């Protein structure tokens, strides 16, 4: 796997030839792709959500504003995306209900790409969640939000360094003023299409641990062929996560994966008919 440095430059942001963004509000009946918005509380997920969908999801400056998930749509370069705004979470391991909503969606909703919105002024704490999301899925893009606040605080964030270290694209944005939004969307599109191949940094663990994971992964893949996050599931099983155990026993996991693959086929057919991609 290689990381192709195909991040568009910031000038593309203002070039109308480069993009076409159409806010689609609630019109999400016929979407092609699903994108999830994850992130720590109060990093501006709902603000970004509103900027992309044209919806007026309630925003407020306090952690915990969004406790359910909101859905909206946008169209970018001819592809229709369903955008899912998740409750803010500090981790994906916790028990509170808002955090469970977020985790279940990333895991079982299997979005085509997950944007982790981070607070540029508190990057270290935010990266903990980024890395946990990266354990679940390869298709991650980091949006470094609140760049304006970071600047005011005298901080400079090097998106390239971050991107290199994490092995996934990192795009600086200021959701409130729509800065960097188009670059972000182009990057998301490239990650989904495979134009950008991510190589997420993962904590290796001890040799015994690696061996245990290696043994479990093929078994999980055997029961749910094509499952994109067998490694994460294996780790959760080793950890004794009851939610994951249940999904496995009830066959929910296999069903979800099958449904996902079906959508994949339909999408490629649509794209070939319309001559895009």
Partner 1 sequence: MQHTTIQPNDILAKAETLRETLSTSFRDEMVKSLYSEAEKIAKRAVKTVQEKKYDLDQKIDRLVTSPITGLPIMLILLGIVIWLTVSGANVASEAIANVLFGIGDGGRALFNQIGMPWWITGFLWDGVYLGLAWVVSVMLPPMAIFFPAFTFLEDLGYLPRVAFNLDWLFKKAGAHGKQSLTMAMGFGCNAAGVVATRVIDSPRERLIAILTNNFVPCNGRFPTLIMLATVFVAAAFPPALTSFVAAGAVVGVVLIGVAFTFLMSWLLSRTVLKGEASAFTLELPPYRRPNVTRILYTSLIDRTIFVLWRAMQTAAPAGAIIWILANIHLGDSNLARMIADWLNPFGLLLGLDGVILLAYIIAIPANEIVVPTMMMVYMGAGMMVDGPGTSAGIYDLLVNGHGWTMLTAVNLMLFALLHNPCATTIITIYKETKSYKWAAVSVLITLGTAFLVTLLTASFAHFMGWV
Q: Which of these, 136, 233, 140, 260, lies nearest to 190 by C-alpha position?
A: 140
**Owner of token pair 């959508």:** 263
Contact 68, 27 (CB under 8 A): no
Distance (Å, whole) CA 48 – CA 115: 10
- Using only C-alpha atoms, the chain has a radius of gyration, in whole angstroms, of 18
- From the CB of 228, what's the least distance to partner 1, in Å? 17
78 to 117: interface string for partner 1, x by CB under 8 A: ---------x------xxxxx-------------------
Phi, psi dihedrals of residue 90, rounded to the nearest 5°: -90, -25
Distance (Å, whole) CA 110 – CA 99: 16
- Pick from 240, 265, 273, 275 the residue near partner 1 by CB under 8 A: 240
Nearer to partner 1, 77 or 94 (CB): 94
- From the CB of 55, what's the least distance to partner 1, in Å? 11
- The reply on whether position 176 binds partner 1 by CB under 8 A is yes
Phi-psi region of 82 (alpha: psi -120 to 50; beta: other; left: phi over 0): beta
Nearer to partner 1, 160 or 269 (CB): 160
Nearer to partner 1, 10 or 165 (CB): 165
Contact 137, 114 (CB under 8 A): yes
Query: Residue count at the site for partner 1 (CB under 8 A)?
Result: 66
* Distance, first Cα to last Cα, the chain: 21
Nearer to partner 1, 112 or 137 (CB): 137
- From the CB of 132, what's the least distance to partner 1, in Å? 7
Residue 163, helix vs strand vs coil:
helix
- Pick from 68, 77, 262, 277 the residue near partner 1 by CB under 8 A: 68
Which residues in 120-159 contact partner 1 (CB under 8 A)? 120-121, 123-125, 127-128, 130-132, 149, 153-159
Positive/negative CA dihedral, 268, 269, 272, 275: negative
Distance (Å, whole) CA 257 – CA 108: 9
- The reply on whether position 54 binds partner 1 by CB under 8 A is no
- Pick from 9, 16, 206, 265 the residue near partner 1 by CB under 8 A: 206
- Pick from 5, 25, 78, 222 the residue near partner 1 by CB under 8 A: 222
Distance (Å, whole) CA 140 – CA 200: 8
Interface residues with partner 1 (CB under 8 A) are 41-42, 56, 58-64, 67-68, 87, 94-98, 120-121, 123-125, 127-128, 130-132, 149, 153-159, 161-162, 165-166, 176, 201, 203, 205-206, 208-209, 211-212, 215-216, 218-220, 222-223, 234-235, 237-240, 245, 248-249, 251
């Amino acid at each position: 796997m290689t990381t192709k440095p195909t991040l568009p430059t910031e000038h593309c942001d203002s070039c109308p030839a480069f993009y076409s963004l159409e806010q689609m509000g609630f019109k999400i009946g016929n979407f092609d792709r699903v994108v999830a918005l994850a992130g720590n509380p109060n990093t501006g997920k709902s603000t970004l959500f509103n900027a992309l969908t044209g919806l007026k999801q309630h925003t407020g400056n306090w952690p915990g504003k969004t406790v359910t998930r909101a859905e909206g749509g946008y169209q970018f370069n001819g592809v229709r995306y369903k955008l899912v705004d998740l409750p803010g979470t500090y981790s994906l391991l916790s028990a509170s209900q808002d955090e469970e909503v977020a985790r279940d969606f990333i895991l079982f909703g299997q979005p085509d790409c997950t944007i982790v919105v981070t607070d540029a002024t508190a990057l270290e704490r935010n990266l903990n969640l980024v890395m946990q999301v990266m354990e679940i899925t390869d298709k991650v893009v980091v949006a470094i939000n609140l760049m304006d606040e970071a600047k005011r605080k005298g901080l400079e964030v090097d998106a390239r360094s971050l991107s290199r270290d994490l092995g996934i694209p990192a795009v600086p944005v200021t959701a409130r003023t729509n800065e960097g939004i188009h670059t972000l969307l182009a990057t998301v599109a490239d990650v989904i299409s495979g134009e950008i191949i991510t190589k997420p940094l993962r904590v290796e663990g001890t040799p015994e641990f690696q061996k245990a994971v290696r043994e479990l992964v093929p078994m999980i893949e055997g029961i749910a062929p094509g499952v994109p996050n067998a490694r994460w599931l294996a780790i959760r099983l080793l950890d004794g996560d009851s939610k994951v155990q249940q999904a496995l026993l009830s066959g929910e996991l296999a069903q979800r994966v099958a449904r996902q693959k079906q959508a994949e086929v339909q999408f490629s057919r649509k794209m070939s008919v319309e001559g895009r991609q």
